[in-house]
Structure 1
Amino acid sequence: MTPQISRLRPLSARIPGSKSITTRALLLAAAAKGTSTLWAPLVSHDTLAFRAALGSLGVAVETSPSDQFWDVTGNGRGPVGTGEVWCADAGTAARFLPPFSAAGEGTFTFDGSEQLRARPLSPLMKAMTALGAELETPVPGRFPLTVRASGLEGGELRVDSSMSSQFLSGLLMTAPLMRHPVRADLSGSVSRPYLDMTLALMRRFGADVQESGDGVVEVRPGGYRPAAVVIEPDASTASYVFAAAAATEHRVTVPGLCGRSLQGDLRFVDTLRQLGARVEVSDRDVTVTGTGRLRGGLTLDMGDISDTFMTLAAIAPLADAPLTIGGVRHARFKESDRIAAVAQNLRACGIRVDETEDSVTVHPGPLRPARIACHRDHRIAMAFSVLGLAAQVPLTLDDPSCVTKTFPGFHQEMARLFPYYEVPEYR
């Protein structure tokens, strides 16, 4: 364990808004008839790309001077006309906006960065075609994509969600704009908590959503009504400060997260509890306190909270026995192959890692200085920043600025919370 620095001083972390809630609320507000207000939205590369993409589809988004809130005005249906839509690196824009555009009328072309072009979209495109969409793409299953929109029929929704639940979320959010009810079986989908978040937000915007006990959902036509939504802090992002607290014997509180959170990734603190950290969840905040020990010898299925598996893997070398993290095959299809990236970087630090198609086993051991390959992936950069902090070993990020995808002020906030954290120089 690292030296105890301000161990007893409670630290209140400033975590930005949830990306998952911000992007879903943006889409649902765009589909509603009237003006919705999003309070405390996440302002980052991904959400700004999503907001700009909505503008390309004709959706008006007015912002307050300091981005305290965004007002989104929708027309109660899909977009109309033509649009050239740039999604940058934002996977949520690539998965959520094509179905929304297909529910409208016109021709809309979507494209993104080389990183986004490399991410598979075949399950989404296949499901959209089955619902009546007309699609054109020069590379099957990849961006760029042209949607020739004339509305979507609805009916039975079948989509392969083994790689990402976002395919299904994007289609479900468009379902109230379709001509007929949509039925979908959610069983077998990865990251089920994200689907639950999608359905909860759809209901908040007035959608008619019925769910049976066997995991089948029916969404009926009728559209959305405007709503005001307060965006809670991002639980995935909070995992880094919680892990840092657990590994450095600090006490860190994140105000605004609570047991009623829509975000499944808050369950990461339960994982830290299993490792020996002290966890307190109130109706106003969540606090994690390090106890001086990280307990290993565990096998943990993190399939439902896979965006946090890198956080745990990064501090696993500090545990007192090996840790196995499984159920995360779909993490190979994110911004990077996250299983491979974690294994590569831990090995560069001198740590033994056993890797399978859907798991990693991390063995404890002394670390050596290393250069971390971020693969333009914000979560790899943030996770290994926590390891460098906790182990007090110089780890150099090859792309420290990639954190701006979801948390532009990450390095500065870590330095505020942990005085011995060194803010890297951006290129």
Structure 2
Amino acid sequence: MTRATTHPAPMTARIPGSKSITNRALLLAAAAVGTSRLRSPLVSADTVAFRTALSDLGFTVAALDHDEVWEVAGAGRGPTGSSAVWCEDAGTAARFLAPFAAVGNGRFVLDGSAQLRARPLRPLADTLTALGATVTTEPGGALPMTVETGGLDGGTITVDGSLSSQFLSGLLMSAPLMRTPVRFTVHNLVSRPYVNMTLTLMRRFGAQVTEQREGVIEVHPGGYSATDLTVEPDASTASYVFAAAAITGTAVTVPGLGHGSLQGDLHFVDVLQRMGAQVRIADTATTVTGGDRLRGGFCADMGEMSDTFMTVAAIAPLADAPITIRGIAHTRLKESDRIAAVAENLHALGVATDTGHDWLTVYPASPTGARIACRRDHRIGMAFSVLGLRIPHLTLDDPSCVAKTFPGFHQELRRLFPLSAPVI
């Protein structure tokens, strides 16, 4: 494919709402007193699973205006009674709703797909047990998880954040519903921007939260108040169209994603800038324009925006020097072992890599077509689809896996880049 020598006016990408914001806002709205409206929520497999799980717990979420608005009737408390909750593949559903169930009153059984059962929950189960709930899991701390509870008192909680920031976020969001203040001491936290997002949204819904110093957070009882919230576009999902612009020499703008974004993954564009793209972040939009060539020869710590490391890795073979990505050990515990999945697929394309516990190096290459093993992981499917814009005969073994966060992904990529190599 011949790259553009001049830059036309930027194309406007249609990026759906943030999954991270949508699912956090759903829980906070259910916990609040009154009715909240979430505008422009992400409508995808993960968020619909979360919405359905809340319904299983007895909360009402109404889809209005063709899913443009979700109206949540909050109860001002945790769930009550006895419920079986199906979380599908959604890690946020299991990790956010288990603490929410524990601040309620009753017996709740959370379960999910085989993929979700393989993801770790032991630290969360142990913490809820220490706070007074009766929690049972499968060996190793896996789903299904049963939570029997009469509410939680609060107190002092020490959290190891090295496996996933979602454990801490789930506990934080439920803390205002505990009977006494909760003081969190957090060690080895990964993905700090996601915790910042959680705290910002908690305050938006009226929670009393103070950060005493780095790693020490205090949450006071008092619950939440209903609010209306517009969900900004998903920065992780935007990484794919930004990367596509970088490797095709075109320009793409994502409206609604600019200065003041709640999402740390917007810093992905900083890595593209190191690779030679032009980046402009305005108050209400971000634009990426591809350069004449893709530069390598650097190391990027992507621990705080790890959902986007695969996007960089997938296009890295097109750079003029190796690129090393570090700080990503926790991605081995996501929907797939993402470091291994990326390396194996790059090898299938004829690209050399080196890997370690928390790092990956990708070397320049002239990739050949191959069938990508998605491992039911939406981010593997979307990242390699971007490389497929430059590599003929690259196909996916599971194109539908993208429905987890962006059901219309393939159609949007074809709309923006109709002359590029098709990915099926």
State the Cα distance separating 1:3 from its structure 2 match. 3.0
- Aligned-partner SS, 1:58: coil
Structure 2 matches for 1:259-298, cutoff 5 A?
A: 259-298=259-298
**Which residue is 2:241 aligned to?**
241
Matched residues in 2 for 1:165 and 1:307: separation? Answer: 13
- The answer to whether residue 89 in structure 2 is matched with residue 89 in structure 1 is yes
Contact 2:209 2:217 in 1 (8 A): yes
**Which residue is 1:392 aligned to?**
391
Structure 2 matches for 1:84-123, cutoff 5 A?
A: 84-123=84-123
Structure 2 matches for 1:324-343, cutoff 5 A?
A: 324-343=324-343
Contact 2:161 2:187 in 1 (8 A): no
| 2:326 maps to amino acid | G
State the Cα distance separating 1:240 from its structure 2 match. 0.3
Contact 1:277 1:288 in 2 (8 A): yes
**Which residue is 2:173 aligned to?**
173
Q: Number of aligned residue pairs: give it.
A: 424
Contact 2:370 2:394 in 1 (8 A): yes
Alignment deviations for residues 265-297 of structure 1 (CA, whole Å, 9 cap, x no partner): 000011111111100000110000001111111
**Which residue is 2:406 aligned to?**
407
Alignment deviations for residues 399-422 of structure 1 (CA, whole Å, 9 cap, x no partner): 000000000000000001001245
Contact 2:134 2:147 in 1 (8 A): yes
Alignment deviations for residues 150-201 of structure 1 (CA, whole Å, 9 cap, x no partner): 1012111122221110000000000000011111124521000000000000
Matched residues in 1 for 2:326 and 2:347: separation? Answer: 18
Alignment deviations for residues 62-107 of structure 1 (CA, whole Å, 9 cap, x no partner): 1104111011011111001111100000000010001001101111
| 2:153 maps to amino acid | E
State the Cα distance separating 1:424 from its structure 2 match. 4.8
Identity of aligned residues (%): 63
- Aligned-partner SS, 2:41: coil
- Aligned-partner SS, 2:395: strand
Contact 2:29 2:35 in 1 (8 A): yes
**Which residue is 2:48 aligned to?**
48
- The answer to whether residue 211 in structure 2 is matched with residue 206 in structure 1 is no
Change (3 A) 1:13 1:288: same
Contact 2:121 2:142 in 1 (8 A): yes
Matched residues in 1 for 2:9 and 2:172: separation? Answer: 45
Alignment deviations for residues 328-379 of structure 1 (CA, whole Å, 9 cap, x no partner): 0000000000000000000100000001010000000111111100000000
Q: Larger deviation: 290-299 or 235-244?
A: 290-299
Structure 2 matches for 1:289-368, cutoff 5 A?
A: 289-368=289-368
Contact 1:412 1:423 in 2 (8 A): no
| 1:420 maps to amino acid | L
State the Cα distance separating 1:423 from its structure 2 match. 5.4
TM score, norm. by length of structure 1: 0.97
| 1:293 maps to amino acid | R
**Which residue is 1:227 aligned to?**
227
Matched residues in 2 for 1:127 and 1:323: separation? Answer: 39
State the Cα distance separating 1:36 from its structure 2 match. 0.6
Structure 2 matches for 1:44-193, cutoff 5 A?
A: 44-193=44-193
Alignment deviations for residues 23-81 of structure 1 (CA, whole Å, 9 cap, x no partner): 00000001001111100000000000000000000011011041110110111110011
State the Cα distance separating 1:146 from its structure 2 match. 0.8
**Which residue is 1:23 aligned to?**
23
Q: Which runs of 5+ in 1 are unaligned?
A: none
State the Cα distance separating 1:224 from its structure 2 match. 0.4
TM score, norm. by length of structure 2: 0.98
